[in-house]
Homo-oligomer: A and B are copies of this chain.
Amino acid sequence: MPAAPPVDPAELDDPLASAQRDAADPLAHHTALFLPAGDVVSYLDGNSLGRPMAATPARLDAFVRGDWGTRLIRSWDERWMQLPTELGDRIGAAALGAAPGQTVVADSTTVLLYKAIRASLAARPGRHEIVIDDDQFPTDRFVVEGIARERGATVRWLAVDETRGVTPEQVRDVVGPDTAVVLVNHVSYRSGFLADLPAITEIVHEAGALLVADLCHSVGVVPTELDAWGVDVAVGCTYKYLNGGPGAPAFLYARADLLPELEQPVQGWMGAADVFAMAEGYVPDTGIRKFISGTPPVVGMLAMQDMLDAIEEAGLEAIRDKSLALTDYAFDLVDAWLAPLGVTTATPREHERRGSHVTVRHPRFREVVATLWQEGVVPDFRGPDALRIGLSPLSTTFDEVRVGVAAIREALQQG
C-alpha cells in the first residue's frame, strides 16, 4: 500500500489524521462488505470475534431454504460431505501456504488441539516431553496438561515475558532426545508477539521432535507458509479473522508426508475410509479426513466462506500491509494520548514480531472497559489489567482506531 503520511503529534487530535489514512487505504472498499454494527462506533475486537459480512444473511437464507430445506438429506452426497476438505483447502491456499489435501475444518480449536497433540505424541514413541510456554492461551495449556497426565508425559514449560513470546533460542535450549512435541502459538493472544515459526520449526526438527502450531491469532492476517516452513501440524480458529461466526468450527493442517504416521484418538464414522460402509472395525481414511470424528458442522461452516471470498480477492500481503499500518497508527495514538496517563504497551514494536492486535495495560482497564462497551467502543479485556486493541484489516477503519483510542483516553481522564 502507499506509505501513510507521517503522523504529526499536533495533528493527532484532528479527525483528518484518520480520514486521510482511510482515504489512502487501498483496501478501504472492503470495509463496506460488512454488516452495519449498530451502536458500535469502534469495533476493536476482531481478534476475538470477526464481524459478519453483508453477504452472510442471504447465504444463510439460501442454505436453509435450498440445500437444507429442499435438497434435504441429498445435500450430503451433493455438497456437504466435501465441505470440510473443500474449505480446508481454501483456507490452506488463501492463508496458510498449504497445498491441497492437508487441511480440514472440524470440531473446535480445543478438540483439534487434543487430536493434534495426541497424534503427534504417539508419532514419537520413546519420547515423553511436551514443550510449551507458560503464557500460551489457556486452552492450549489445559489440553497439554490433560494429555501429559493421561499419557504419562512431562510438560516442559518455557518462561516468557508477558510482553513477548517464545523465541528460537529458548526452544533450542530445551529440546533434546526426550522431546516429542513443541506447541507454539504463532501470535500470542496476550502480547500479540509473532513467533519466528520457520526458525522454531527447524530447531524442533533438528531435535527429532514435531512442531504443532496454534494459528488462532494469526490466520487471515499474517502471511504463513506452512509447507515451506515444514510445520508438522497446525490448528486454528475461524471466528476471529476468518469471520465464521461465534463458535464456528476450527481447522487442522497436517503435513502430507507426516499424515500416514498420525493417528488421532476420537475414532468416528466420518473419519473412516468408507463412511457409509457401516462396517465392522474402524479403518481410518488415508488422507486428512482421518482427523474428522463426527458429522461435519455444516451450519457453522457457511459464514466463513464470505470472508474467504474477500481474503482471496484482497490477498494476504495487502492485508498484512494494512494490519501493520493499523497497528502502527494504534501505537502512535497510544504513545501520544495514553502513555501520559500511565498506560504501557505490551506488544512488540518491530513489524516482524507483531500480529494484528496491540495490547495496552493500565490498572483501571477492568472498570474502563465496561464504560467503553456501553459507549459502543469495543476492545476486549484480559485480566488483570490488559486491554487488547484488535485490528481486523478488512473491516477496521483508521477512524475506528482513532475514535477508540480517544474514548479510552476520555474514560481514563474521567476516572
Q: Which A residues are closer than 8 A to B by beta carbons?
A: 35-40, 43, 45, 48-49, 51-52, 56-57, 60-61, 64-66, 68-76, 80, 107-111, 114, 134, 137-139, 141-143, 145-147, 150, 237, 239, 244-250, 265-270, 272, 276-282, 293-303, 373, 378, 380, 382-383
- The answer to whether A272 touches B303, judged by C-beta atoms less than 8 angstroms apart, is no
Stoichiometry, as copies per complex, reads 2
Q: How far does the Cβ of A114 sit from chain B's closest Cβ, in whole Å? A: 5
Chain B neighbourhood of A52, CB < 8 A: 64-65, 68-69
- The answer to whether B68 touches A268, judged by C-beta atoms less than 8 angstroms apart, is no
Q: How far does the Cβ of A290 sit from chain B's closest Cβ, in whole Å? A: 12
Measured CA separation A281–B150 after assembly (Å): 15
- The answer to whether B72 touches A43, judged by C-beta atoms less than 8 angstroms apart, is yes
Closest 5 CB pairs of A and B: A108-B294, A38-B70, A110-B294, A110-B268, A146-B267
Chain B neighbourhood of A72, CB < 8 A: 37, 40, 43, 45, 49, 51, 378
Q: How far does the Cβ of A391 sit from chain B's closest Cβ, in whole Å? A: 14
- The answer to whether A298 touches B69, judged by C-beta atoms less than 8 angstroms apart, is no
Q: How far does the Cβ of A395 sit from chain B's closest Cβ, in whole Å? A: 11
Measured CA separation A49–B64 after assembly (Å): 13
- The answer to whether B247 touches A296, judged by C-beta atoms less than 8 angstroms apart, is yes
- The answer to whether A248 touches B142, judged by C-beta atoms less than 8 angstroms apart, is no
Per a CB cutoff under 8 Å, which of B70, B245, B249 touches A68?
Answer: B245
Task: Among A143, A295, A383, find the residue whose CB has the most chain B CB atoms closer than 10 A.
Answer: A295
Chain B neighbourhood of A70, CB < 8 A: 36-40
Measured CA separation A2–B378 after assembly (Å): 57
* 14 other A-B residue contacts (CB within 8 Å) besides A142-B282, A145-B281: A36-B70, A37-B72, A38-B66, A45-B72, A49-B76, A52-B65, A57-B64, A57-B65, A107-B108, A109-B295, A142-B267, A143-B268, A146-B282, A299-B300
Give 9 pairs: A residue, B residue, CB < 8 Å, sorted on A.
Answer: A36-B69, A40-B70, A51-B68, A68-B246, A74-B373, A109-B294, A110-B269, A138-B272, A247-B300
- The answer to whether A282 touches B145, judged by C-beta atoms less than 8 angstroms apart, is yes
Per a CB cutoff under 8 Å, which of B69, B134, B248 touches A35?
Answer: B69
Q: Tell whether A35 pairs with B65 under 8 Å between CB atoms, given A40-B72, A247-B295, A265-B150.
A: yes
Task: Among A65, A277, A382, find the residue whose CB has the most chain B CB atoms closer than 10 A.
Answer: A65
Closest chain B residue to A281, Cβ basis: B145
Chain B neighbourhood of A69, CB < 8 A: 35-38, 51-52
Measured CA separation A383–B274 after assembly (Å): 12
Closest chain B residue to A79, Cβ basis: B246
Closest chain B residue to A147, Cβ basis: B265
Per a CB cutoff under 8 Å, which of B74, B141, B246 touches A75?
Answer: B246
Measured CA separation A402–B111 after assembly (Å): 44
